[in-house]
């Protein structure tokens, strides 16, 4: 029994030693893991770089990582000065203000962070500016903008149709799904756009939208510094801009300050408690109404719902009153401008953005890029409510407006009432343009018949190509910066819902049965509309008066509307016959504008009319005439 007991204790002792060793190892690794978990760690720095010679040379770095508390920061060079460290309650973030010396050389500068949790360093590249005359050109009334929904334009790289970690993959049978269009597809068709007569392309947002579904439109960003991989890459976007510039085309970025997608990494770990207006579970919805923002009788809470309400439950409203949010958004926009070389911005949902922030944002960008232009989306049809948003507005505001250009939904509404309504009158266009005294720069309004958010004009016209041509003639010869939605030049009808409104361009995708980018791939009607549109664009590019000239119009008589465009010695007369029947137009009411002229030359046909005592012009029903006035 004693022997057996000794064996028992001998075996038990061995087991005990093994258990002790394991316990010590477990404690060791636990301590190591604990200490490691407490270590100072940096995973992301935004902006990822900056440039030499920028006017904005004090940058606020958003540092993301772990245990970012009680930090001290030092720079490896006197060219990068640490101004201040801001440390929110959330220790996953730190904000570091750095000043870049005007004499700083391009280099990878080292910034060291230290605390009781350890030491780490981060690389901050400062890059030499390109300063090319081809970049940051702005856009103006000499341009014609072509609006592209990239997912629906052309698929130039099928390898990015499905991307790991991005659940919303290509499914062309789903109207609200992704269809595969991308940046390469746009690059492949830049020559088509140039030959059509387009000068500027506006592309719906391309930054990452890694939401679970309906991601193709691009307006719910989940990473503000990265192009969505299903569209391409940051480098490919910069190549698109470069290739466009080589062809004399400008590029407008579609940008959103107002909101982000709820799958953005911030949502699960907000940098500050007031980073958003509300939370994912407790927020107010925007009522999508703008007149109340300028209505002097409007309730203050009503106004607040417009600026602080969420655009949708999946689009979180950013709080631009938070100075860290404001700095982040401003720097992000300047980073994209400098990185890519783009020429302008279309800013989404402009009235919903905090007023003080949006005007400071505009002013900062325009100060950095004086040739630039920014158009704000102000979706309201009354010019009296649109005009206060434009820089130099005559209408008093508490906060001085700094936005150069505005979307002209007022004229869009007039076009709709004129050409779409069965009893519509051309007086709608005349009356709207007669209110241009409200605008400090009416020529810096972006005009349109439709866009990616509203029913296509050809659908509204029930396929009436004659009315479409007359509407296009009016759009491309009146004042402002005209914009065409992709495939308008082939008379695309689309449908009522967003998915069919933004239909695929025929021939832009694998296995398409025809290619409407080519003459042979278009129907007879499509070629007729295409050729007419291209001729109109050619005429517009020929006459500076149609681009930048003064605008003088006469009140319509019997649905005939006449106006004149003048630039120095060049003069053009446009007559719009908004009647179903042919009209003989007496030119005597326009004698003052025609005084001293010898003849009229029809810009569409080349035919000439010699001016004498009594002169008339004949126009078929629902057509327009563009006449060069020859002295």
Q: What would the DSSP string read from start to end of 434-447?
A: TTGGG-S-GGGEEE
Is residue 151 annotated as part of the catalytic site, yes or no?
no
C-alpha span between 88 and 101 (Å, rounded): 27
Q: 586: which 2 tokens?
A: 């007496």
Residue 601 sits at φ, ψ, to 5 deg, of -115, 120
Decide: 476 and 144 in contact? Cβ < 8 Å: yes
- Give the pairing of strands 259-261 and 250-255: unpaired
Q: CA triplet 606, 607, 610: central angle to 5 degrees?
A: 130
Residue linked to tokens 């920014």: 374
Q: 251: which 2 tokens?
A: 């590029």
| Cα dihedral: 305, 308, 312, 315 (round 10) | 180
Q: How far is CA 580 from the centre of its chain?
A: 38
Decide: 118 and 40 in contact? Cβ < 8 Å: yes
| Cα dihedral: 608, 609, 611, 615 (round 10) | -160
Q: 185: which 2 tokens?
A: 């597809």
Q: 323: which 2 tokens?
A: 């100075």
C-alpha span between 159 and 630 (Å, rounded): 56
Any residues with CB less than 8 A from the CB of 554 and at least 6 apart, and which? 561, 562, 563, 589, 590
Gap between the terminal Cα atoms of the chain: 132
Considering the candidates 294, 348, 408, 559, report the single residue annotated as catalytic.
348
Q: 30 exposed, middle or buried (CB, 10 Å; 0-12, 13-18, 19+)?
A: exposed
Considering the candidates 168, 228, 359, 377, report the single residue annotated as catalytic.
377
Is residue 274 annotated as part of the catalytic site, yes or no?
no
CA atoms within 13 A on the CB side of 212: 2
Q: Annotated catalytic sites, by residue?
A: 348, 377
């Amino acid at each position: 029994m004693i022997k057996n007991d000794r064996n028992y204790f001998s075996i038990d002792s061995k087991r005990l030693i093994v258990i002790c060793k394991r316990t010590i190892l477990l404690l060791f690794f636990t301590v190591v893991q604990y200490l490691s978990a407490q270590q100072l760690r940096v995973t992301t720095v935004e902006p990822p770089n900056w440039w030499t010679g920028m006017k904005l040379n004090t940058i606020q770095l958003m540092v993301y990582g772990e245990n970012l508390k009680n930090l001290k920061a030092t720079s490896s060079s006197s060219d990068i000065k640490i101004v201040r460290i801001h440390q929110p309650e959330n220790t996953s973030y730190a904000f570091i203000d750095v000043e870049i010396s005007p004499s700083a050389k391009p280099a990878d500068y080292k910034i060291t962070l230290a605390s009781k949790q350890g030491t780490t360093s981060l690389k901050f590249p400062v890059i030499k500016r390109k300063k090319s005359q081809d970049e940051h050109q702005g856009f103006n009334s000499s341009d014609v903008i072509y609006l592209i929904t990239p997912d629906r334009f052309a698929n130039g790289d099928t390898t990015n149709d499905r991307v790991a970690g991005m659940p919303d993959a290509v499914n062309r049978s789903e109207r609200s799904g992704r269809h595969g269009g991308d940046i390469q597809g746009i690059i492949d068709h830049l020559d088509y756009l140039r030959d059509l007569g387009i000068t500027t392309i506006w592309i719906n947002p391309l930054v990452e939208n890694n939401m679970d579904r309906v991601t193709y439109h691009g307006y719910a960003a989940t990473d503000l510094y990265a192009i969505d991989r299903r569209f391409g890459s940051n480098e490919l976007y910069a190549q698109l801009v470069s290739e466009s510039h080589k062809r004399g085309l400008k590029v407008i970025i579609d940008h959103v300050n107002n909101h982000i997608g709820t799958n953005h990494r911030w949502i699960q770990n907000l940098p500050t408690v007031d980073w958003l207006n509300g939370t994912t579970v407790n927020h107010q919805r925007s009522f999508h109404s703008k007149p109340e923002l300028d209505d002097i009788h409007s309730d203050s809470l009503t106004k607040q719902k417009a600026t602080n309400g969420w655009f949708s439950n999946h689009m979180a409203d950013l709080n631009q009153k938070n100075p860290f949010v404001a700095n982040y958004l401003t720097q992000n926009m300047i980073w994209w401008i400098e990185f890519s070389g783009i020429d302008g911005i279309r800013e989404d949902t402009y009235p919903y953005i905090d007023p003080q922030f949006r005007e400071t944002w505009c002013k900062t960008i325009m100060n950095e890029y004086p040739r630039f232009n920014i158009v704000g989306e102000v979706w309201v049809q009354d010019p009296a409510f649109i005009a206060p948003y434009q820089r130099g507005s005559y209408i008093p505001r508490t906060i001085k407006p700094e936005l150069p250009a505005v979307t002209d939904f007022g004229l869009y509404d007039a076009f709709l009432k004129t050409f779409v309504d069965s009893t519509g009158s051309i007086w709608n266009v005349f009356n709207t343009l007669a209110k241009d005294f409200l605008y400090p720069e009416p020529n810096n309004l972006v005009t349109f018949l439709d866009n990616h958010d509203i029913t296509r004009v050809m659908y509204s016209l029930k396929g009436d190509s004659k009315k479409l041509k007359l509407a296009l003639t009016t759009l491309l010869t009146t004042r402002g910066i005209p914009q065409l939605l992709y495939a308008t030049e082939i008379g695309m009808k689309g449908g009522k819902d967003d998915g069919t409104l933004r239909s695929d361009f025929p021939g832009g995708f694998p296995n398409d049965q025809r290619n409407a980018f080519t003459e042979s791939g278009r129907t007879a009607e499509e070629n007729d509309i295409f050729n007419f549109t291209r001729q109109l664009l050619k005429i517009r590019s020929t006459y500076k008066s149609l681009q930048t000239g003064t605008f003088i119009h006469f009140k319509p008589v019997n649905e005939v509307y006449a106006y004149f465009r003048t630039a120095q010695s060049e003069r053009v007369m446009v007559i719009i016959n908004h009647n179903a029947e042919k009209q003989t137009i007496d030119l005597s009411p326009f004698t003052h504008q025609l005084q001293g002229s010898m003849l009229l030359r029809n810009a569409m046909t080349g035919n000439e009319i010699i001016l004498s005592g009594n002169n008339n012009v004949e126009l078929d029903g629902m057509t327009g005439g563009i006449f060069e006035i020859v002295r």
